[in-house]
Homo-oligomer: A and B are copies of this chain.
């Protein structure tokens, strides 16, 4: 949806399948989007550093996710005019707001993972 098609009286609603907020939410909750936002909350990263930091991401998915985040205005891509070329990725202020909320969820998840594994074991046992 383009901004010009936006009706200012419209209230964004993630429960509405046609609302553009849903696409934004999907970018900040995407598998790699989450991990990239959290990494960039600590410091700026170069592409190859991010690739090492975020376990399991392919070059293609990292490039595509960074481009989505840049287009949304969450990530700033800073290409330094040096030889060899150097590109740093940094959070914008908007990206920092998103990343803080995403990190809160990820940290909570790490803290609760063992409990969830126990719940799954109990669930499976009750049904076997």
Give A contacts to B, CB under 8 Å. 1-3, 6, 11-21, 24-26, 28-31, 34-35, 38-39, 53-56, 70-73, 94, 97-98, 101-102, 104-106, 108-124
Contacts and interface: CB of A to CB of B under 8 A. Distances in A.
Contact of A26 (B16, B19, B31, B39): B31
A38 B13 CA distance: 12
Contacts of A124: 71
A109 B25 contact: yes
Report copies per complex.
2
Contacts of A98: 105, 108-109, 112
Given A21-B109, A108-B101, A73 B115 contact: yes
Contacts of A30: 29
A111 B101 CA distance: 13
